[in-house]
Amino acid sequence: MNDTLKTGLTGHQPLHHTPPTLEFWFEFGSNYSYLSVMRIEALARDAGIGIAWKPFLLGPIFRDFGWSSSPFVLQEEKGRYVWRDMARQAAKHGLPFNKPSRFPRSAVLPLRVALLGAGQAWLPAFCRTVMRQNWVDDIEIDSADSVRLALLPLLPVGGDADVLIRQAQSEDNKLALRRQTEEARRRGIFGAPTFFVGDEMYWGDDRLDDAVLYAKTLAAR
């Protein structure tokens, strides 16, 4: 008797195990998000877990704290430290890194495009390209030209980068990014990158491995 008939006779349905998903909250203007964007796919694939890409805006969250800019700008000593730390961490992971000539760099348009691309096959590569534009090539990323350059090699045949850019700038999508940022605030996110496995929160690129390990442990149960 085949398995299908057995299932029908016993009334039991086969169990489908869904691996845990790692929520990845990131910002293109965030230096430590750069490290995570470049590493997360390989780590998640090796661990057998999924990724939910969650672009959001850090600026409104910082303003809620009364900060007019990144703490790496507002605190001179922290700023000096973080650029040296970025060089060390990038070297540790074999990633190129150049301190950008402007920090923090506005990233509203590419974040809107990333939100629009949630679940699309091209999204991870798009995010890596935008990060390289900012943290390696030191070019302005908040422009249609830069976003178009990032999109063009990634879209399927017949895909139109300009159509996507227009859709990303629609009022509905602008509102969607504002709402995603509000959700980040509600969930207690105060910086980027931030990771969630269920309700368990991890902050910072140096906690990415811990978040992946926790999700992998849940998947093995």
For residue 106, being part of any structural domain is answered with yes
pLDDT tens per residue across span 59-76: 999 999 999 999 999 999
Beta-strand pair 200-203/194-197: antiparallel
Sign of CA dihedral 35, 37, 53, 221: negative
For residue 9, being part of any structural domain is answered with no
What's the burial of 58, exposed, middle or buried (CB within 10 Å: 0-12/13-18/19+)?
buried
Alpha carbon distance 92, 135 (integer Å): 16
| Six-digit token string for 70 | 């990144």
Asked whether the predicted pLDDT for residue 116 surpasses 90, the reply is yes
Which pLDDT does position 7 carry in this prediction?
A: 39
Query: Residue 21, SS3?
Result: strand
Split into its structural domains, the chain has a count of 1
Which pLDDT does position 17 carry in this prediction?
A: 57
Alpha carbon distance 42, 94 (integer Å): 14
| Residue ranges making up the domain that contains 109 | 21-219
For residue 8, being part of any structural domain is answered with no
Q: How far is CA 44 from the centre of its chain?
A: 13
For residue 189, being part of any structural domain is answered with yes
Give the mean model confidence (pLDDT) for residues 121-140: 98
User: Could you tell me if 98 and 138 are in contact, meaning their C-beta atoms sit under 8 angstroms apart?
Assistant: yes
Asked whether the predicted pLDDT for residue 11 surpasses 80, the reply is no
Residues 6+ apart with CB under 8 A from 97: 34, 86, 87, 90, 91, 135, 136
Alpha carbon distance 57, 27 (integer Å): 6
Q: Out of 8-12, 17-21, 29-33, 131-135, which region has the weakest mean confidence (pLDDT)?
A: 8-12
Give the mean model confidence (pLDDT) for residues 116-133: 97
% of the chain residues with pLDDT over 90: 87
Alpha carbon distance 133, 152 (integer Å): 14
More confident residue, 124 or 1: 124
Which pLDDT does position 158 carry in this prediction?
A: 75
For residue 13, being part of any structural domain is answered with no
CATH number at residue 112: 3.40.30.10
Asked whether the predicted pLDDT for residue 220 surpasses 90, the reply is no
Which pLDDT does position 14 carry in this prediction?
A: 43
Which pLDDT does position 9 carry in this prediction?
A: 37
For residue 2, being part of any structural domain is answered with no
User: Could you tell me if 117 and 155 are in contact, meaning their C-beta atoms sit under 8 angstroms apart?
Assistant: no
For residue 4, being part of any structural domain is answered with no
pLDDT tens per residue across span 157-214: 778 999 999 999 999 999 999 999 999 999 999 999 999 999 999 999 999 999 999 9
Which residues does residue 200 pair with via DSSP β-bridges, in sequence order? 197
For residue 102, being part of any structural domain is answered with yes
% of the chain residues with pLDDT over 70: 92
